[in-house]
Amino acid sequence: MNPMPCLRVALAGALLCCSSLVHAGIQLGATRAILAAPAKETSITVNNRDVEDIMVQTWVEADGDDRQDVPFAITPALSRLGGHGQQTLRIFYQGQGLPEDRESVFWLSVQEIPQKSKQKNVLQIAVRQRIKLFYRPAGLEGKPEDAAKTVRWQLVEQNGRTLLRATNPSRYHVSLSSVAVLDGARSFPAETAMLAPGATADFPLKTDAVRPSGNSSLSFKYINDYGGVDEIDATLTR
């Protein structure tokens, strides 16, 4: 017997039993946090948009590797935030354990723990928000705002598919928002991801129906240090 229909029915029944659904009340003051050496700490604000007090739990975790040590401390790790209140989270780097020749990235998690509801039949959810935390050593070659401009783009053929190959020669991460190969009036969007310092990644085009010609160009958008989105037109080679 397929358990999925039963699971859907059970979930729907649980939601129907609830007279209301508590929504997230916290809002972070930025979409990313950057700790740039020689500074030993950085900070980010948390706002409670609700009228009720909430508990806020915070921690830093590795990006995709659970075995990696996390050389950061955050304070407060657990706190009570009053209704419509604001709080500053301070993130400290212990001063060693990360490469000094390139940028490193981690995840900052901020979780809202609602108080026990005074009403009956209320579904309460602990909502977690995650933003990227970058550690930027002092003295890195180049400027972070120029990193996206240095990315090299190439069209390659692999197993009958056309892939977009991106190489990031900079010492900084490049957070791609969207990428498209342009061929005259046609546009071929590609999958995107964050490019690590010194990394090369292959992005499949989202359609194989028509392949770009040798005269194609490229346009991509990336997220800057302030959370805004910038666009760049780049040269494309084969």
CATH 2.30.30.90 fits 25-136, yes or no: no
Angle, CA 154 vertex, CA 151 and CA 155 arms, to 5°? 150
Q: Give the closest residue to 74 by CA, choosing from 88, 63, 64.
A: 88
Query: Which tens digits make up the pLDDT trace of 132-152?
Result: 999 999 999 999 999 999 999
Q: Do the domains spanning 25-136 and 144-237 agree at the CATH topology level?
A: yes
Cα separation, 103 vs 197, whole angstroms: 7
pTM: 0.84
Query: Which tens digits make up the pLDDT trace of 152-183?
Result: 999 988 888 889 999 999 999 999 999 999 98
Q: How many CB atoms lie within 10 A of CB 134?
A: 19
Q: Where are the chain's structural domains?
A: 25-136, 144-237
| Residue 12 pLDDT | 44
pLDDT bin (cut points 50, 70, 90) of residue 120 is confident
Query: Which tens digits make up the pLDDT trace of 21-50?
Result: 445 589 999 999 999 999 999 999 999 998
Q: What is the β-pairing status of strands 32-36 and 78-81?
A: unpaired
Cα separation, 39 vs 121, whole angstroms: 48
CATH architecture of 144-237: Sandwich (2.60)
Q: Tell me the two tokens of residue 60.
A: 């830093």
